[in-house]
Amino acid sequence: HAKPFCILAARLVQENKNTVVTLLLAPNLLTKAEAEVCRRHAETSTVISDKPSTYKHLIRILSSFKSDLPDLFSLLDPLIQTYGPAYQNLWEASPITCAMTGRIFNAVSRPNVVILDFFAHQQMLATRAVSGTSVPIVAWVTGHIAHIIHIFGPARLGGPDVDFTSRVEAEMARTGLTAEEIGDSVYRRTEDAVVRVPGAPALYDWEFFPQTLPFNAPQWVEIVIAADAGLKECDAVFSTSTYAFDEESIDAFKSWFAEQKKEVHVIGPLLSTKKANELSDYAKAKEFLEKAQAKYGDKSVLLISFGTIFWPTAQDYIDEVIEALVEKRFPFIITHASPFAKISEDLVQKVNATGIGLIYKWVPQQYILSHPATGWFMTHGGQNSVLETLGSGVPMICWPFEADQPIAAAHMSEGLKVALELIEVRTGEHGMRPLLRNGRKAQGTRDAVGIEIREVIDTCRGPKGEEIRKNAQAIKAKFAKTWGDDGVSRNELHVFLKKHGLEMSCNPLQNREQTQN
């Protein structure tokens, strides 16, 4: 969730040089956040100042604790525990120190607005304890809106009859177990029901769990409970989605919060600019893409990424996909940033030796998506990746795992028609059950995966694939207008900021960037 945060911070400062943004992040995100903000600043430097140091005084990136752990779940407790004292410093207009780097940031005036992830309920309560209701708290919602409605919304919109927290409490009373002991059993419980959310295809409830996951997260139930409470505690909501992606779901989402007299501001997509970067991190990708473009042409490369957490538990399915791509001479790049990824050195060397593929732990996703050699993206369907991909006009092959990914995959393949969805890669009890929309169900074999992926490759290269690409390009064009003259997302942010005394400049940033170019 941090990347859109950084982009919003940079945009706010570029729009109004009197704005100061403090980003309190987990230690493992500091370097990437600094790079993202620096990149944005470098591409629009004269909006603020030509001095590289200027933006560092206006966008302060720091962590409230020290840790070298990469695991998200292990960082949740210290994030909560150290937030209160850090916010107290900000409220008192005192200097604040980054616990990781030791850098001291000078005092600035008290916060006018606090933006927190919607599951950061404890941080919301800590904010209230210091500043009461004098500072509005905005819940930061980055997930697919239809899924947020399904988990937390009212029954009339496809949400549960009983809210999640009440269901967990009932289970605790029935079993005598703690919330942690109950784990995700309540969250993953299905009743053979049909879920109907505005703007999304109807799904059986078991379709939300198409994969056996490579990890067990005992804190998951606490995160969902916190998210439920956070949506109730906040004063307003920022959604990083956009009307061009899921307008009907957004309208339903807004109607739900209007009942609570809370405003929802849709300010997405918040995307990095697509200019090529010559940093060393890009060298391998740049070289591979240029060679593939020269040999196979534009739109010939497939990028494969399942984000920083998810990875298939059926490694032979990944192996089969790789074999099919090599066989079909479909150039590809695979990134395996997840700590649960299992990529042997033997496989890396084997693929790299073919010249048709590149396997790397981390790659510059936005750079690859915007490169003319890239034609498709195989993705888990996380919201940030989806918006980045459509912002580049690239069609997708969806391999969803959990959370908002299954409903997003259905929406993109059946509704927007900007993606193909893999079915045979599904695993586990729920993954073997049929889909409501077409009756298909996975066979649970590598052979079936092999047949399907080869059919998908042929589809990508055929007339249907070209039609899907045109649909993705059309959405890219719509995305490009959201922050332009009278852009809907810019206007929604402007309304919120004006209400809280943080008015933006009169001229859209996009126009000023174009003038500089």
Note the pLDDT tens digit of each residue in 329-388: 999 999 998 888 888 788 888 888 888 999 988 888 989 999 999 999 999 999 999 999
pLDDT (0 to 100) of residue 399: 98
208, part of any domain: no
**490 and 470 belong to one structural domain:** no
CB 252 within 8 A of CB 199: yes
Chain-centroid distance, C-alpha 420: 19
Coil, strand or helix at 491: helix
- 265 - beta bridge partners? 238
Say which residues have a Cβ less than 8 Å from residue 133's Cβ, sequence separation at least 6: 235
Max Cα–Cα distance, the chain, nearest Å: 65
Please give the Cα distance from 55 to 21 (Å, whole number). 10
- Sequential DSSP letters for 315-377: HHHHHHHHHHHHHTT--EEEE--STT----HHHHHHHHHHSSEEEES---HHHHHHSTTEEEE
**11 and 74 belong to one structural domain:** yes
pLDDT (0 to 100) of residue 361: 86
How many Cβ atoms from other residues are within 10 Å of residue 224's Cβ? 20
First vs last Cα of the chain: how many Å apart? 30
Task: Take residue 282 and report the two structure tokens written for it.
Answer: 């890009």
Please give the Cα distance from 101 to 134 (Å, whole number). 31
163, part of any domain: no
Please give the Cα distance from 125 to 113 (Å, whole number). 15
Task: Take residue 162 and report the two structure tokens written for it.
Answer: 């009983």
pLDDT (0 to 100) of residue 200: 97
112, part of any domain: yes
**Based on the structure, what is the number of domains in the chain?**
2
Please give the Cα distance from 98 to 56 (Å, whole number). 13
CB 379 within 8 A of CB 354: no
**DSSP 8-state symbol, 75:** H
Residue closest to 148 by CA, chosen among 260, 2, 249, 255: 249
Say which residues have a Cβ less than 8 Å from residue 117's Cβ, sequence separation at least 6: 1, 139, 140, 230
**261 and 322 belong to one structural domain:** no
Task: Take residue 444 and report the two structure tokens written for it.
Answer: 């649970």
Using CA atoms of 78, 80, 81, 84 in order, give the dihedral in degrees to the nearest 10: 140
- 420 - beta bridge partners? 397
Please give the Cα distance from 199 to 75 (Å, whole number). 35
Please give the Cα distance from 399 to 393 (Å, whole number). 19
CB 218 within 8 A of CB 178: no
367, part of any domain: yes
Element housing 89 (H / E): helix 72-91
**54 and 131 belong to one structural domain:** yes
330, part of any domain: yes
**396 and 290 belong to one structural domain:** yes
**356 and 453 belong to one structural domain:** yes
Task: Take residue 471 and report the two structure tokens written for it.
Answer: 């649909």
160, part of any domain: no
- Residue identified by tokens 């850090």 is 86
Domain that holds residue 266: 1-146+220-272+483-500
**443 and 489 belong to one structural domain:** no
Please give the Cα distance from 419 to 417 (Å, whole number). 6
- 397 - beta bridge partners? 378, 420
157, part of any domain: no
**474 and 490 belong to one structural domain:** no
CB 417 within 8 A of CB 467: yes
pLDDT (0 to 100) of residue 43: 57
CB 210 within 8 A of CB 430: yes
pLDDT (0 to 100) of residue 48: 39
Model pLDDT for residues 446-473, shown as the tens digit of each residue: 999 999 999 999 999 999 999 999 999 9
CB-neighbour burial class of residue 194 (10 A; exposed 0-12, middle 13-18, buried 19+): exposed
**400 and 469 belong to one structural domain:** yes
How many Cβ atoms from other residues are within 10 Å of residue 433's Cβ? 18
Q: What is the CA radius of gyration of the chain?
A: 23
Say which residues have a Cβ less than 8 Å from residue 17's Cβ, sequence separation at least 6: 48, 49, 58
Task: Take residue 505 and report the two structure tokens written for it.
Answer: 């400049």
**455 and 343 belong to one structural domain:** yes
373, part of any domain: yes
Please give the Cα distance from 63 to 34 (Å, whole number). 12
Beta strand pairing call for 374-379 and 357-360? unpaired
CB 264 within 8 A of CB 292: no
**495 and 389 belong to one structural domain:** no
Interhelix angle for 243-258 vs 463-481, to 10°?
A: 60
User: 108: domain CATH number?
Assistant: 3.40.50.2000
Chain-centroid distance, C-alpha 112: 26
**71 and 136 belong to one structural domain:** yes
pLDDT (0 to 100) of residue 368: 95
- The tens-digit pLDDT sequence of the chain (517 residues) is 688 999 999 888 877 778 899 999 999 889 888 888 877 766 554 333 334 455 667 899 999 999 988 777 788 899 999 999 999 999 999 999 999 999 999 999 999 999 999 999 999 999 999 999 999 999 999 999 999 999 999 999 999 999 999 999 999 999 999 887 887 888 889 999 999 999 999 999 999 999 998 887 656 788 899 999 999 999 999 999 999 999 999 999 999 999 999 999 999 999 876 454 445 557 889 999 999 999 999 999 999 999 988 999 999 999 999 999 999 999 999 999 888 888 878 888 888 888 899 998 888 898 999 999 999 999 999 999 999 999 999 999 999 999 999 999 999 999 999 999 999 999 999 999 999 999 999 999 999 999 999 999 999 999 999 999 999 999 999 999 999 888 999 999 989 988 887 766 544 444 333 322 2
Give the Å distances, CA to CA, from 120 to 231, 339, 404.
Answer: 10, 24, 18
Q: Give pTM, 2 decimals.
A: 0.92
Please give the Cα distance from 325 to 456 (Å, whole number). 11
